[in-house]
Amino acid sequence: MAGITKRQAPFAHFKKPAGNIETLPFHEMLTAWRANQEVSQKECAKILGISAQYLCDLEAGRRLPSVRVVTAICDTHESVHNATWHTAGALAHGWKL
């Protein structure tokens, strides 16, 4: 897997989710993305460098994503639409774009 970081390796074969997750709120987009990758919250949290509880809270909409978390998601694979994730993260904070 030349050119793939340790963080990218588990998602090296990123599967495009059915439907258009880009229209979902951040927490639903994150849940759909992780489920589509068929990894547990614990595995995903480890890959993203966050606690499983924080990931659980993000997916439940109880916490807002930090810029570092959004960037970590974007870093998992080149084909993830980075602008979409950053936009979803900003909208979760209520920022006007």
pLDDT band at 97 (very low <50, low <70, confident <90, very high): low
The boundaries of the domain holding residue 63 are 22-92
Residue 10 falls within a domain, yes or no? no
Q: Is residue 3 part of a domain?
A: no
Res 57: pLDDT: 97
pTM of the predicted model, to two decimals? 0.68
Tell whether 6 is covered by a domain.
no
Could you tell me if residue 9 is inside a domain? no
- Displacement of CA 74 from its chain's centroid (Å): 7
Domain containing residue 70: CATH number = 1.10.260.40
Compute how many other C-beta atoms are within 10 angstroms of the C-beta atom of residue 57: 15
**What pLDDT was estimated at residue 67?**
84
**pLDDT tens-digit map of 28-87:** 888 988 888 888 999 999 988 999 999 999 999 999 998 888 888 877 755 456 677 777
pLDDT, position 72 = 84
Query: How many structural domains does the chain have?
Result: 1
For the chain, give me the number of helices (H) and strands (E)? 5, 0
